[in-house]
Amino acid sequence: MLCEQYKDALIEVAAAGAAPQGELRAHLEGCASCRSAFAQEQSLFATIDSSLHASANSEVPSSLLPRVRVALNEAAASRLRLLHPVVLASAGVALAFAFFLIARPRHTSPENVAKQVPSIVRVPITQTESTNSQNISAESTEIAAVRVTHSHAARNSTNLHSVASSNPEVLVPPDEREGLARLVAVLNERSEVAAAFVVKAPQKDAVVTADPLQIPDIEIKPLEGTETETSDRASERN
């Protein structure tokens, strides 16, 4: 009965792999049976540990790493096989899009122009303007192409001398060029202002037609008062 109370303590000490201390140690010194039990318990744990160690450190087959490398290569190859059509397809789409952009017609239809932000400001050179600036010859007037768009590239563009451009051209005398540039800048910044410029103006050359007046036939009738007056005068003469 006395040894029974040390049983758990013995197992704990054996499981921890520690040496018995204090009262337990004193008991073991005086009790051969408990010493034997403790030795058996230590032996059990040692057997467990050695079996576990043998099992956990079993020799790794030499075929493992080459097998894994082959599997890795196959995995990489299959990934490439899956990826290749995607890359080819996306490259094809990109090329087709580029070709479409290059080959598309340059001129936009009038409907499209009207839908876009106002892009054309045409300033005709009138005779009065020519007379105001006498020193400006026809040759000296420069052709400016101004296009109002929302892209930064166009906004930053100062291509005022692009004679060969397909954009609409604006003839501006040199002294009005600065003002036009300011106007273009305003139009670029405020699209609603620009929109006001493209409101369709009435055409000056349009022929005005009017329906002819409809006049009904004139019917001539003798006046009633005149007839009675003449009869009265005739009776007076008589």
Partner 1 sequence: MQELVLNQPVSTARSELVREAAQADARREFEERLAECGPLAFRLARGVLRNTADAEDVAQEALLRAYKSFDRLRDHNKFRGWLVRISFRLALDRLRSAKRREQRDTLWAKPEHLPPPATAEDVAASNQFQAHLDRALEELPEKLRLVLLLSAMDGYTIEEIASMISVPLGTVKSRIFVARKKLAEKLRCYANNIKTR
Q: Which residues are near partner 1 by CB under 8 A?
A: 1-4, 7, 10-12, 14-16, 31, 33, 36-37, 40-41, 43-45, 47-49, 51-53, 55-58, 60-61, 63-65, 67-69, 71-72, 75-76, 87, 90-91, 94-95, 97-98, 101-102, 151, 153
CB of 99 to partner 1, least distance (A): 9
DSSP state of 209: -
- Closest CB to partner 1 among 45 and 197? 45
Taking the C-alpha atoms of residue 171 and residue 184, their distance in angstroms, rounded to an integer, is 14
CB of 127 to partner 1, least distance (A): 41
CB of 31 to partner 1, least distance (A): 8
Contact indicator for 155, 188 with CB cutoff of 8 Å: yes
Taking the C-alpha atoms of residue 64 and residue 71, their distance in angstroms, rounded to an integer, is 11
- Closest CB to partner 1 among 51 and 191? 51
DSSP state of 145: E
Taking the C-alpha atoms of residue 3 and residue 55, their distance in angstroms, rounded to an integer, is 35
- Closest CB to partner 1 among 34 and 172? 34
Listing DSSP states for 96-124 in one string gives HHHHHHHHS-SSPPHHHHHHSS-------
- Closest CB to partner 1 among 132 and 166? 166
CB of 124 to partner 1, least distance (A): 32
| Residue 18 burial class via C-beta count within 10 angstroms: exposed 0-12, middle 13-18, buried 19 and up | exposed
CB of 96 to partner 1, least distance (A): 10
CB of 121 to partner 1, least distance (A): 23
DSSP state of 167: S
Report phi then psi at 90, rounded to 5: -70, -35
- Closest CB to partner 1 among 95 and 185? 95
- Closest CB to partner 1 among 41 and 142? 41
